[in-house]
Structure 1
């Protein structure tokens, strides 16, 4: 009897794991993790930052984000510069979104659609319901090693990737990735 139960568990578990790998499921898990952090008043700002960093590590494809932010400069950067930029980009994301966590006021999220292209790119559309508004947010995901992760999101028509890329262009043109890394490290050290 125990072996039959074990066999059933072994057969069911892979399908549960695969079901959790869908793009919408990934976004739902990420949003749930973020809301959990935002609504936990017992956490200090530093604890929220660490938790947010962990959530980003779990749900965001930092390499895919970094490649898109840097564009052509990614190909020109050394491996060391790429690794450093990914660490810094994660720090920028944490510092940017910790501010939004502090403004959380029981908003809810409705999942309105999912589109998969070429089997490795997906868009998950959501609406964030605030007290006064409905804000459309689309999450862009990439599947690497059979795992969907977020690499960008577009809120009210503004792409995180395009915004960062635009903000960093002048530094990249002037000083390359190493100069951008120095500027970001200095900015993050001030926080």
Structure 2
């Protein structure tokens, strides 16, 4: 009887995992970005008065609405570049954590400029077997030229989930800019010091 129950349980788990994988695969990067953006900007619009009184509320919104769709670990590894193989697992972990909090602060600061403008997402396109795609977005404001942004999305080969790892604003990659800046500081001061600096900036 125990064997039958165990086999049944295993079958249920296997089916559940298969369904979850298919569901994850069916969510395109365009849909992930649009859904995340709609929820994010909608919540910001509804919280304008609260944000004006308590700016830290924006960080909470970014934490709740945006960060689940950000591949901050991959972004951190990209920033580390060739230094990734030179450091310990514990150093990697600390750097990733510091990078995450730094990104929350950076995105929160950037999003304070948003005040109910229109956001237009690029129409969905087939991704085929691509694991990285760039999706264009426009923030349209009647009082100034549109702001052009491109979100670089990456598909995790294990979870099959699409997440953003870089944002290109008016042709400038935030990830490349940060990599260029931090690689010099890591070479000069070491990854532990840079991790502390990122963590302190995020406070």
Deviation at 1:94, TM superposition (A): 1.6
The answer to which structure, 1 or 2, has the higher relative contact order (CA under 8 A, 6+ apart) is: 2
Q: 2:76 aligns with which of 55, 63, 66?
A: 66
Give CA-to-partner distance per residue, 1:76-119, whole Å, 9 cap, x none.
Answer: 22111111111111211121222222221222222235574743
User: What is the CA–CA distance in structure 2 between the aligned matches of 1:74 and 1:19, rounded to whole Å?
Assistant: 29
User: What is the CA–CA distance in structure 1 between the aligned matches of 2:79 and 2:25, rounded to whole Å?
Assistant: 30
Q: 2:162 aligns with which of 132, 143, 148?
A: 148
162 and 101 in structure 1: CA distance in 2 versus 1, 3 angstrom threshold: same
**Map 1:1-191 → 2, pairs under 5 A:** 17-18=23-24, 21-39=27-45, 40-41=47-48, 42=50, 44-112=54-122, 114=125, 116=127, 118-131=129-142, 132-144=144-156, 145-189=159-203
What SS does the aligned partner of 1:71 have? helix
User: What is the CA–CA distance in structure 2 between the aligned matches of 1:30 and 1:169, rounded to whole Å?
Assistant: 31
Deviation at 1:27, TM superposition (A): 0.9
Structure having the higher Rg:
2
Deviation at 1:148, TM superposition (A): 0.3
1:56–1:90 CA contact under 8 A, matched in 2: no
TM-score, normalization: structure 1?
A: 0.81
What SS does the aligned partner of 2:165 have? strand
2:138–2:149 CA contact under 8 A, matched in 1: yes
**Number of equivalent positions:** 178
User: What is the CA–CA distance in structure 1 between the aligned matches of 2:201 and 2:167, rounded to whole Å?
Assistant: 23
What SS does the aligned partner of 2:115 have? coil
User: What is the CA–CA distance in structure 1 between the aligned matches of 2:89 and 2:31, rounded to whole Å?
Assistant: 32
User: What is the CA–CA distance in structure 2 between the aligned matches of 1:106 and 1:57, rounded to whole Å?
Assistant: 21
Structure 2: gaps of 5 or more residues: 1-18
What SS does the aligned partner of 2:137 have? strand
2:24–2:161 CA contact under 8 A, matched in 1: no
